[in-house]
Amino acid sequence: NYVGFNVGKPRLPLTELDDKSAAFIRDTLKNYHIDLLTPVSGITR
């Protein structure tokens, strides 16, 4: 998905969006910096 995690094929509750909705989400997320910290063994920030 566009937030940065590979979630594989759509499945409930994830479904394919229509083109208009997908474009709206893409354009909206371009305006934000999303920093999702995820733990990685041996690496510290």
Q: What is the reported pLDDT for 10?
A: 66
pTM exceeding 0.75: no
Domain with 33, as residue range(s), is: 1-45
Condensed to tens digits (0 to 9), the pLDDT of residues 11-44 reads: 677 778 899 988 998 898 888 887 777 776 666 6
Distance CA 10, CA 18 (A): 13
Query: Is the pLDDT assigned to residue 3 strictly greater than 90?
Result: no
Tell me phi and psi for residue 44, to 5 degrees. Answer: -120, 155
pLDDT band at 8 (very low <50, low <70, confident <90, very high): confident
Quote the Cα angle for 21-23-19, to 5°.
60
Q: Hey, what's the torsion of the CAs at 9, 13, 38, 21, to 10 degrees?
A: 80
Domain count, the chain: 1
